[in-house]
A and B are shown apart, each in its own frame.
Chain A
Amino acid sequence: MNEALINTLNSLVSNATPLVIAAIGETITERAGVINLSLNGSILLAAMVGFAAALATDTLLLGLGAAVIVGAVIATIIAFSTIQLRRDQVAVGFVLTLLAAKLADFLGQPLNSASGPSFSKQPIPLLADIPILGHIFFEHNILVYFSFVLVIGCWFWLFRTRPGLAHRAIGERPEAAYARGTSVNRMRYVYTAVGGGLVGLAGASYSLSIKIGWPSIISYNGDGWIALAIVIFAGWHPFRVLLGAYMLSALRAAASDIQKSSLNIPAELLNTGLPWILLIVTLILVNTGQIDRLLIALPARMRGRFQALLKSDAPAALGERFEAS
């Protein structure tokens, strides 16, 4: 296999990692029935705070920890204002996404392109020696490995554990969860905070791994929205989140390749516009059920299986309040 291609795939995996982590975080939150719309701002603020903390303490882990806390705190504000105060999730999430981005701007000024610590690659012994795949998947830093574990762990949690069953139920039908003894709102707080913490971690993985420092990650401004769309595309399913994030990362890489090959497409349009156009096209395909129609070509027996795989119904109680009488 072509070495350049393998290298491209390798960087594709590492570049997609923050998207994977953020979208899994949001999946966890939305599976519990809460929408955290603050992703874009949360990521920026967490990236800034994470970098600042790592710089000040010279400890990467403290940087991660600080970023997680930032994400979790913002998410908890959303949970509080929607569960306790009955505010509109979209309104609060939107205000927070703006506010967090502005806060990052304001508080991050002293950092101004300071250089700081970052995660270095740690190939996994043995696994990294696997031909081709080893280089693509197992020569990365620890955050990338964490994203693998996260995706698999999230799947196991949701579909193979008892608390995961309750997790899904509070997003699907909170009344039924309540009837079975689950404290719906308490668990919604927990999953919103956990999901938010992961969003924060995604922020730190920009500023401590992908594009080190602050405010250099501004060029990834917008990824929070993309992560939100990936969750929809993925039908709230962890493996499809991974797939979606990798596909998007691949398209980005392709876009910059096209640009280099000096086809007559304006770079500005390609860079800022393309991911969004793709995103809209994907959402259209998902929402209008066109994907299902593509399956008609398949034999009937396989169709059912693929349909189940591509099914993307939102959690039935997503965004709905629950109050036990």
Chain B
Amino acid sequence: MNHTPRSLGLRLVFLVLPLLVALFVSAVILLLLNQEPGEVLRQAWRGAFGNERRIASVLNYWIPLSFAAMGLVITFRAGLWNIGIEGQMIMGAVFATYIPLYVPLPPILTISLSLVLAATGGAIWAVLVGVLRNRFGVHEIFGGVALNAIAAGISLYLVRGPWALVGNNNQTPVFPRETWLPTISDRFGVSQLMLILLVIAVLSIIFLMGRSRWGLQLKATGRNRQSALLLGVSVRSVSLSAFILCGALAGIGGAHRVLHTYHYLLPNVAGGIGFLGLLVVMLSGFHAAIVPLVAYFMAALSAGSTRFQTLLRLDPSLIDVLQGILVLTYVLFSGIQDRFFPRIREGNEEMKKEITTNE
């Protein structure tokens, strides 16, 4: 992620090539499973762009996924592995549930307050990871995994205990109809509010990363914390701010799940979207601008997994496997590319290392 190839053309080739190889490997696996890769692709395409309803279902998966993934772009830039993203989404969903369930307010207030609360909940959960790391030296991966489990425990407890729906211990009561997010149309059940928020988030993150001083400080912190500190970056605040922003975005993503997708809280509300977000960012080669596209592709696969089952008798969990293989192949192939065609890229690490150590 730290190379700057000479020409834009080469840069594109090297961006896209590992992606194509990853797709090819997935196709081979489908062939091995006696599936027609072309048919799967056609169905995925139809699912993704086929008709209004399908596009809407993909978008409804894409929105929370993109919120999470864009947040992760920030933490990755700061050199942080925010595996706690799943828990941050759950906490966002939990925080967003309270008002619709218990506080009767005008719909506009309910929705806006819920979103603010959701962002706060996600941010709190992320700050915990950050504080554990900054103050207590607990690596963010352990902090994140632990807080994921605790968040899952909390949502499980609420759903089964205080917020339980009588006679069903797997969900809360359904929210009142008027607190649901308004949609573009009945057939096209996508929340325009969330779409707009997402577009704003994507654009401002791309801008912040490339043009703001804060973005540069993030990058510096991610590359070399100690040097950044000595150059005057307050690395603790910078990495904490990365966690806060990522957590807030993940929280809004979690809110989308309860306020729009389900209209109630359930134990596994994040449904692995946070983890998928990590895969999306890796598959995008950590480039913010590509993330929404890759997220759309992944969302089309995930949202279409039940259709694959009915149409092609493909097991839905195969989609998860394919997504993992896609990213693994991408990571490995980009390694092969760097390793065996180093001259094409400008940053020939090896040579530079030799020169600097020899001085």
Contact = CB atoms under 8 A, between A and B. Distances in A.
Q: Do A and B come from one complex?
A: yes
Contacts of B279: 95, 98
Interface stretch (A10-18, A101-109, A155-163, A165-173): A101-109
Interface in B15-56: none
Q: Which range contains the number of A residues in contact with the other chain?
A: 35 or more
B150 A98 contact: no
Contacts of B132: 280, 284
A273 B153 CA distance: 6
B154 interface: yes
Contacts of A84: 335, 339
B271 interface: no
Interface in B306-359: 315, 317-318, 320-321, 323-325, 327-328, 331-332, 334-336, 338-339, 350, 354
Contacts, number: 120
B335 A87 contact: yes
Contact of A272 (B156, B339, B354): B156
A interface majority secondary structure: helix
Given A99-B321, A106-B315, A222 B157 contact: no
Contact of B156 (A37, A86, A90, A268): A268
Interface size class of B (residues with CB under 8 A): 35 or more
Given A85-B339, A279-B142, A90 B81 contact: yes
B97 to A, nearest CB: 16
Interface in A263-315: 266, 268-269, 271-273, 276-277, 279-280, 283-284, 287-288
Contacts of B136: 283-284, 287-288
B161 A85 contact: no
Contacts of B335: 81, 84-87
Interface of A: 37, 77, 81, 84-87, 90-92, 94-96, 98-99, 102-103, 105-106, 109, 222, 225, 228-229, 232, 266, 268-269, 271-273, 276-277, 279-280, 283-284, 287-288, 323, 325
3 interchain residue pairs of minimum CB distance: A85-B335, A99-B324, A272-B153
9 contacts: A86-B335, A95-B328, A98-B275, A103-B324, A266-B161, A272-B149, A273-B150, A276-B145, A283-B142
